[in-house]
Amino acid sequence: MKKNLLIIGAGEHAKVVIENVLEQNKYKIVGMINFNHSEKKNQYFGVKVVCNIKQLDQFINKFNQTSKINFILGVGTVRGNMSIREKIYKQIEKKLFPVNVINPKAHISQFAKIGKGNLIEAFAKVSAGAKLGNNCVIESFSGIHHDQKIGNNVFIATNVAFAGSSIGDNCLICDGVSIGFKKNIGKNSIILDGTRINKNVPADSVCYEQKNNIKKISLKNYKKISQK
């Protein structure tokens, strides 16, 4: 019998999560939880919104009369603000049990260590000796190679070439990033699309490439810009 699974979120990222859950064919999706009124009527592959976040406790109490519910986060990067994902995950983890959604076309080494609440998409790779924390996303055609360490709440987008040593908690690694050999990415950092990292990145940094030069701004200033 398939275990029940609730998708926390009802936006575009939830759609991607649901697709991978269906392909994994391990869980029965009981519905999505919406945060915004605009997401109330969203429906993906037959999966509907069952309640909003304020009604979650009521839904859980009613549902738990018959069976338990697991969850996976269906909330994306929210304009690069990874702290929102972290906050939601920690709140829901107190109520429900997080599970890993791993596409059957992904390669996960039996010698890798993986936490809870992770989404690993098709054609992603986690190699021997690698360590992956909780509440992470590894999108298609990206890989964690041998003995690399990924913290909690890390979002690795598509086509990321990672030859580094570690990525700290709450980092966003955008599409097409290349992280050089043995380089470390500090916590709370954002590496923007197509950036080639050849030096260690300190915590709370935002890196981007301009005319073949790597530029850095503080995370605080980046948030101000992205909210305009």
Q: Please tell me which residue, 7 or 208, carries the higher pLDDT value.
A: 7
Is 220 in the same domain as 108? Answer: yes
Predicted local distance difference test score (pLDDT) of residue 115: 98
Range of the domain at 69: 3-75
Q: How would you classify residue 26: left for phi > 0, otherwise alpha for psi between -120 and 50, otherwise beta?
A: alpha
In the predicted structure, residue 10 carries a pLDDT above the cut 60:
yes
Share of residues in the chain with pLDDT > 70 (%): 90
User: What are the DSSP calls for 123-170, one per residue?
Assistant: T-EE-TT-EE-SS-EE-TT-EE-TT-EE-SS-EE-TT-EE-SSEE-TT
Which SS3 state, helix, strand or coil, does residue 66 take? coil
Comparing 66-70, 132-136, 173-177, 213-217, which segment has the lowest mean pLDDT?
213-217
What CATH number should be reported for the domain holding residue 108?
Answer: 2.160.10.10
Number of domains the chain is built from:
2
Asked whether residue 43 is domain-assigned, the answer is yes
State pTM to two decimals.
Answer: 0.90
Q: Which two tokens stand for residue 211?
A: 């005319």
Is 193 in the same domain as 158? Answer: yes
Q: Please tell me which residue, 213 or 80, carries the higher pLDDT value.
A: 80
**Separation in Å, CA 51 to CA 17, 30, 69, 185:** 18, 11, 14, 38
Predicted local distance difference test score (pLDDT) of residue 128: 97
Asked whether residue 143 is domain-assigned, the answer is yes
Is 65 in the same domain as 107? Answer: no
Is 107 in the same domain as 217? Answer: yes
Predicted local distance difference test score (pLDDT) of residue 155: 97
List, for residues 137-190, the tens digit of each pLDDT value: 999 999 999 999 999 999 999 999 999 999 999 999 999 999 999 999 999 999
Is 62 in the same domain as 111? Answer: no
Asked whether residue 120 is domain-assigned, the answer is yes
Dihedral of the CA atoms 149, 139, 173, 212 (nearest 10)? 120
